[in-house]
Amino acid sequence: MPGEAREARALRALMDGDGPVDHWWQLEIEGVDHVLSIAVGREPWRVGSGADSVQVAVSHYGAQRIVDAAGWTLGSARLHDAIVRAATTWGAFIPAEQATAIQIWGPATKGAPAMTRAMVDASRYRDELGASGAFVAGPWKEWISDARLRQPAGLPLGKKQGVNYGFWTPAPAVAPPTPGPRPSATIPALRVWQQPGLAHDYWHSDYSQLLRPIWGQGWITGPRYPDGALVDLDTIATDAQLWRLVRHDGPGSLRHPWIPRGEAGPPGSTPLVVTPRSTWPRVAAAGIVGAGIALAAVAYEVRL
């Protein structure tokens, strides 16, 4: 189905309680004198349950409306780099021969029916990475907050500009045939195939454009909050002293400035039960298909 129709159905599924996040993971981001604890989904957002669920490809516009409804937030390059570095399981790109077979790349993916097939097939491939309940990172891109969006006159697509970022990889040899990888935006040790890019408008979607849930509030401690406090991440992002905890390109809202705020979902539609860092698995489970890579690292604290 066309992207806009697919996103409308995904948003309705969320509102009807059919898009819950099964596992939230706690991630600590450590600044100069404050520590922020956030909750993130262990994998890209999906609709449905069990074997009948699918990770939904979304546009920047659709992602913004979904997080508005869910009480989540869109991420930034800073937040997504921190999330990826903390992952317990990395997924490599879908091997070229398999991508061709399931029509992920090339002219065969043009048109709504082929795009939906590619989305579903790619989701099934990624399902193998998260089958163990691991915290997964790697072969997809995110729509992100970017300071350039606040100056639409200087953007190729003006107020309809989208900004995507990702395809993180620890293994360049299995990536698709495109130039790269390049250093990530905020953590030099990470590599990405897609730096924050301006190639698409905010209605563009393809199989690789997914949505990692990030809860809209975090727990912050430090001189400003000696007893700790639950604060909106957007409040932190716009604060003159604290913004570096959640972004690298200057203070500003995490929302896309030109996408209308969407309808809020019902209270409690996404229960927040967080897996503490102390219980995170130290290695990925065996049996990952394709070129999945198990890393022995536990969650990292990101020091700014």
Nearest to 31 by CA among 167, 221, 175, 160: 221
For residues 160 and 139, the answer to whether their CB atoms sit within 8 Å is no
Amino acid at residue number 265: G
pLDDT band at 112 (very low <50, low <70, confident <90, very high): low
Give yes or no for residue 285 having a pLDDT over 50: no
Give yes or no for residue 77 having a pLDDT over 80: yes
For 227-244, what is the mean pLDDT? 97
**pLDDT value, residue 282:** 34
What is the distance between the alpha carbons of residues 261 and 74, in angstroms, rounded to a whole number? 12
**pLDDT value, residue 267:** 46
Tokens for 181?
């990888």
Across the chain, mean pLDDT equals 77
**What angle (nearest 5°) sits at the alpha carbon of residue 176, between those of residues 175 and 181?**
55
**pLDDT value, residue 303:** 35
What is the distance between the alpha carbons of residues 294 and 258, in angstroms, rounded to a whole number? 39
pLDDT tens-digit map of 163-183: 999 988 764 444 444 556 788
SS3 19: coil
Q: Which has more confidence, 78 or 180?
A: 78
Give yes or no for residue 100 having a pLDDT over 80: no
For 50-71, what is the mean pLDDT? 88
Q: Which has more confidence, 183 or 132?
A: 183
pLDDT band at 49 (very low <50, low <70, confident <90, very high): confident
pTM of the model: 0.80
pLDDT tens-digit map of 186-232: 988 888 888 999 999 999 988 889 999 999 999 999 999 999 999 99
Overall size of the chain counted in residues: 304
Residues of the chain with pLDDT > 70: what percent?
68
Alpha-carbon distance values, 291 to 137, 140, 195, 224 (Å):
13, 15, 23, 45
pLDDT tens-digit map of 15-43: 777 777 878 889 999 999 999 999 999 88
Nearest to 54 by CA among 112, 110, 130: 130
Ranked by mean pLDDT, the top range of 116-130, 216-230, 275-289 is 216-230
Beta strand segments in 161-254, E: 164-168, 182-183, 191-197, 209-210, 217-222, 225-232
SS3 177: coil
**pLDDT value, residue 115:** 64
pLDDT band at 296 (very low <50, low <70, confident <90, very high): very low
**pLDDT value, residue 32:** 93
